[in-house]
Chain A
Amino acid sequence: MKENMRKALLLLTVLPCVPAASGCKKQATVIYPDVAFGAYDTEPDWNDPSKQVKLGYRESQGRHVFYVYCVWCHADATPAGPSNRSNLTPIAPLMNDGEKLNGESDEYLQNIITLGGSALGKSEMMPPYGKTLSAEEIKDVIAFTRTIAQPVYQKPGRPGPPYGTK
């Protein structure tokens, strides 16, 4: 009789734990890690080709635009071999130059690509791409340059001048 009571008590304490435990176990996976899905695309680190930088969809689209339009003047190696960078005065910044670009806001970069260098008081050698690339494509390129920046880019930068300042 007493034994039975003890068994009952034990059951009473153990049983509620079953559903609770099953719930607890699932709560353990709070954030599903990105790595489980792999990176959408990668780009070798410009300073250390053995490292790969992970790119999301947006950065990957920007990478494509970069390697078609921008690479000729903003990188030291191009798909055709030599870079046009040294033919420019002033020399164009490398697109992974974080010291130069991390301080600039996304709006500022969007403006200089859209309107060209001279519109923002910089070199005319940077032509405007606002009629050639869509605003989305330009945003993609900026997102790409942010991921390859050395030193690593951290938001936010200084606010850019209003659109269209001359």
Chain B
Amino acid sequence: MPAEDTGKLSDKLRLTFALTTVLCVLVLAISPLKDFLAEWKHYKRSYSKFAQGRLDTKRLLADYNPNIDQVWLPAMNVTDRCTTCHQGITQPSLGEVSVPQPFRAHPPVPHNVRDWGCTICHRGQGPATEVSEAHETTLAWEQPILPAHFLQSSCGTCHQGDMKETPQLMRGRELLSRLNCQGCHKLNHVERAGLGPDLSSVGNKVTREWIYKWLKEPRTVLDKDGNTTTNGYESGEESRMPKFRLSEEELKALSAFLSLQKATPLTPYKINPAVLAVWSKKPDLISQGEVRFRQMMCTTCHQLAVTRAGETKLIGGNIGPELTKVGSKVNEQWLIAWLRDPKDYLAHANMPQYGWTDEDLYKVSQYILNRLTDSDLLTNVPQLGSPTDQELQTGKRLFTDKGCTSCHSLSETSQQKDFGPDLTALGRKNASELEFSKSKIDRNLVSYIQAKLQDPVSVNPAARMPQYTWNQGDLDAVTTALLSQTGDAPTSALQHLVVPKKDVVFQPVGAFARVFERYKCYACHRFNGYGGTLAPDLSYEGSRAQKKWIADFLENPQTIRPTLILRMPQFNMSEKDAGVAAEYLSLAVQKAELDPESVDARPFTSTMAAKGKELYEVKYQCQSCHTIGATGGYVGPNLNNAGNWLTPAWIEAWLRNPQALQPDSIEPRRNFTDEEVRELTAYLITLRTGIKPPKTKSAAHSRLSAEGAGR
């Protein structure tokens, strides 16, 4: 028995032994087999095959090796193996869309792959050698590839200043600043915007009912079902005031509290009774007011809804608030006082102080109060009556609790610091650090940011963040700007590359300081990098324009650029103010290397001018963009009055190199010879309209009303 047993056992043992051997061999084979079948090896082989099918095989395979490629930049903490599969990335001939991925070349960006690697911009897991691990979120790696649509955010992690190559990022930062996101959140390299209006005396301006409506629906846009708008029309711009989700009690309390804010008493202005007597009886009072309103170019800063051919559009600038229904909002005495001198109500108002006559003041205010109205504005607002003590107390508490103080100041409250969370490192957050609540969105940072912006409550039912209205472009732009908030640059080695934004201020001195502040020149014009971008940059105005022309223009602005919808307002500037401004601009606001006196126009002859005319009309055909007389294009400025407007020195310098004087000018730089430059200048300075701009108001009126009638 024992022998038999042994025999049986040894048989079993032998079989087990054989099986184990086979198993061992198999197990040992797994690793080399897996290695052979590795994803990246497959791409290596297919690239080689792909390259052999192309004409420039040799070049494509010049640095081919069958192993893992990597970009290793220890100083920048970059170990990117992306080029293992993305093998054609530096091959210029593989740039076509028809080249299959992952072999396509990278487009020519300023930073090349060899010096920068991939993940600094694209994110993802650099050392990974599997497609899914490199690109997607895994348990061990939560920084997936950034969708190409938001790629500009990576530029923003180092480049803090403006860059024309990244329009989406710039727009996003502009919106963050414009909507004053910094009022509640901490953000890096976003310019701090001015606050919302100071509400210290808002009770003088609007009624409690209007406040109630505004807080409930700041600006209801026209919806698909044709529901009416509350305070405006749909436009590209979202309103700066977001919608807070307030209960009925909260609305009543806040409106009660705000309607009693009257820190500075309103001193009503009495319009001359003689003017009232004449104008209040005129049947065309309101239409005359409209003419004057248009003439003063209020729409350069304010939008109005205009209906043409059944389509309602907002027309005008966005520096000031939209005015379509302002007549149903403000009280008459406040409006007149505000128009006369805005800084009486708001010390830091951006609104310039126009020179008003009582007649204009009456006409324009009557137009605003009677035409820019909506009788249905307050239809759904309950009768609120006078505020109770309870409401006032709750309102005061809510004003702080809801974060109103982040944007608005009141005489009795101070601004709250850090009301919302710090967002300076939002762009580096892992999905596991975010709160998604029960929302059904993808669990990644981009979807989180977009959901939060569109509907804060969807990802956090207790969110205090108010509701903004976005169009898709702006939503993507803001997302891009937020993704660029990564705290530090991606690696400490890049920290020295960070280009911080420079703060510039242009503060004129002397008599011009007062004019500059009164007419708010900086709201639209830029001076050495300071100020708005709506109107021409005036940094070199003294080298460009003649003093007399500046003074005449300020007193009575004429349109130089015919396509402009937003034009220089008619300030009714006094001769003295215009003189002060012209004097200062022509002497102190010059380009250092361009002395306006450096070219003497006296030696220019009529023969030269005639030659210049021929160059203008035949050889160079400048009329494709510029207008002289009544013919020509309207891309560039109208040159009818060039002789009175521009200095000869400026014309010559401009013809030689426009971009040297104005880097963003679209006028192409030509190959003019010195002789041609002088001949063209000789011709241009002969162009004078000769007619002095009408000085008297009545002349200006009749001209513009004629224009208005012709429209």
Chain A residues with CB under 8 Å of chain B are: 1, 4-5, 8, 11-12, 15-16, 18-20, 22-24, 26-27, 29-34, 36-41, 56-58, 61, 64, 68-69, 72-73, 78, 80-82, 84, 87-88, 123-125, 127-129, 131-132, 136, 155
Query: Closest approach, in angstroms, between the C-beta of B59 and any C-beta of chain A?
Result: 20
Residues of A within 8 A of B64 (CB): none
Task: Give the residues from 3 to 35 in chain B that come closer than 8 angstroms, CB to CB, to chain A.
Answer: 11, 15, 18-19, 22-23, 26, 29-30, 33-34
B271 proximal to A (CB < 8 A): no
Inter-chain contact B621/A26, CB cutoff 8 Å: no
Given contacts A16-B26, A23-B33, A124-B621, contact A34 B101 (CB under 8 A): yes
Contacts A19-B30, A20-B37, A26-B131 known; 14 new A-B pairs at CB < 8 A = A22-B34, A27-B39, A31-B101, A38-B147, A38-B148, A40-B149, A41-B149, A57-B109, A68-B664, A68-B666, A73-B633, A78-B563, A84-B634, A132-B669
- Min CB distance, A166 to chain B, in Å? 13
Complex contact B164–A64 (CB within 8 A): yes
CB pair B620–A124 under 8 Å, yes or no, is: yes
Is B33 within 8 A of A61, CB to CB?
A: no
Query: Residues of B contacting A61 with CB < 8 Å?
Result: 165
Say whether A84 contacts B33, CB under 8 Å.
no
In contact, A15 and B26 (Cβ under 8 angstroms):
yes
A29-B131 in contact (CB<8A) = yes
Determine the distance from Cα of A38 to Cα of B620 in the docked complex, in whole angstroms.
Answer: 44
Q: Is B51 an interface residue (CB 8 A)?
A: no
21 A-B pairs in the complex with CB atoms less than 8 angstroms apart: A19-B33, A20-B33, A22-B37, A26-B37, A26-B42, A27-B39, A33-B101, A36-B135, A39-B148, A57-B107, A58-B95, A72-B635, A73-B633, A80-B563, A81-B565, A84-B624, A84-B634, A87-B634, A125-B621, A127-B624, A128-B670
CA distance A132 to B619 in the complex (A): 19
Residue of B nearest to A65 (CB): B164
B167's closest neighbor in chain A, by CB? A64
Q: Indicate the member of B34, B97, B632, B635 with the most A CB atoms within 10 Å.
A: B635
Q: Is B603 an interface residue (CB 8 A)?
A: no
Contacts of A88 in B (CB 8 A): 624, 633
Q: Could you tell me the distance in whole angstroms from the C-beta of A153 to the nearest C-beta in chain B? A: 11
B588 at the interface (CB under 8 A from A): no
Are B624 and A87 in touch, CB under 8 angstroms? yes
Q: Which residues from B are CB-within-8-Å of A11? A: 19, 22-23
Closest Cβ neighbor of B667 among chain A residues: A132
Question: Which chain A positions have C-beta within 8 A of B563?
Answer: 78, 80-82
Q: How far is the CA of A100 from the CA of B109 in the complex (A)?
A: 30
B635, A84: Cβ atoms under 8 Å? yes
Inter-subunit contact B100/A132 (CB<8 Å):
no
Given the known interface contacts A58-B108, A125-B624, the answer about A18 and B148 at a Cβ–Cβ threshold of 8 Å is no
Q: How far is the CB of A62 from chain B (nearest CB, A)?
A: 11
- Asked if residues B668 and A129 are in contact (CB atoms below 8 Å), the reply is yes
- Asked if residues A128 and B668 are in contact (CB atoms below 8 Å), the reply is yes
* Chain A residues with CB below 8 A from B30, complex form: 18-19
**Which chain B residues border A82 with CB–CB below 8 Å?**
563, 634
Query: B237 interface residue, CB < 8 Å from A?
Result: no
> Is the pair A26, B39 in contact by a Cβ cutoff of 8 Å?
yes
Asked whether B29 lies within 8 Å of A16 as measured between CB atoms, the reply is: yes
- Point out the residues of chain A lying under 8 angstroms from B147, CB to CB: 37-38
Per the bound structure, the CA–CA distance linking A128 and B669 in Å amounts to 8
Once the chains bind, are B633 and A24 in contact (CB under 8 Å)? no
CA distance A38 to B446 in the complex (A): 12
**Bound form: Cα–Cα A32–B135 in Å:** 10
**Residue B145 lies at the interface, judged by CB distance under 8 Å to chain A:** yes
- Cα-based distance from A35 to B318 in the complex (angstroms): 36
Docked Cα-Cα span, A87 to B632, in Å, equals: 6
Chain A CB within 8 A of B102 CB: yes
B609-657 interface with A by 8 A CB criterion:
619-621, 623-625, 632-635
Q: Does B538 contact A (CB under 8 A)?
A: no
Taking CB atoms, residues of chain A closer than 8 Å to B135 are 32, 36
Complex contact A131–B671 (CB within 8 A) = yes
Q: Which residues of A contact B19 (CB under 8 A)?
A: 8, 11
> Max chain A CB contacts within 10 Å: which of B38, B97, B100, B624?
B624
Chain A hits for B619, CB < 8 A: 124
> Which among B23, B108, B633, B670 has the greatest number of chain A C-beta atoms within 10 A?
B633
Binary contact track B202-242/A, C-beta < 8 Å → 1, others 0: 00000000000000000000000000000000000000000
Given A12-B22, A40-B151: A131 and B39 within 8 A (CB)? no
Tell me which residues across on chain A come within 8 A of B671, comparing CB atoms: 128, 131
Q: A124–B616 Cα gap in the complex (Å)? A: 11
CA of A90 to CA of B667, assembled, Å: 20
B659 contacts chain A at the CB level, 8 A cutoff: yes
8 Å CB contacts to A: which residues of B72-89?
A: none
Contacts of B620 in A (CB 8 A): 124, 127
Q: Which B residues are CB-close (under 8 A) to A57?
A: 107, 109
Asked whether A38 and B101 contact (CB < 8 A) given A16-B26, A58-B107, the answer is no
B236 smallest CB distance to A (angstroms): 12
How distant is A109 from chain B, measured CB to nearest CB, in Å? 16
For residue B130, CB closer than 8 A to chain A, the reply is yes
Asked if B411 is an interface residue, CB under 8 A from chain A, the answer is no
Closest to A78 in B: B563
User: Which of chain B's residues have a CB closer than 8 A to the CB of A41?
Assistant: 149, 168
* Bound-complex Cα distance A138 to B632 (A): 26
A80 touches B565 (CB 8 A): yes
Specify which chain B residues have a CB less than 8 angstroms from the CB of A124 in the assembled complex.
619-621
Residues of B153-180 contacting chain A, CB below 8 A: 164-165, 167-168
Q: Which residues of B are found within 8 Å of A125, using beta-carbon distances?
A: 621, 624
Alpha-carbon distance A18/B23, docked complex (angstroms): 13
B564: interface (CB < 8 Å): yes
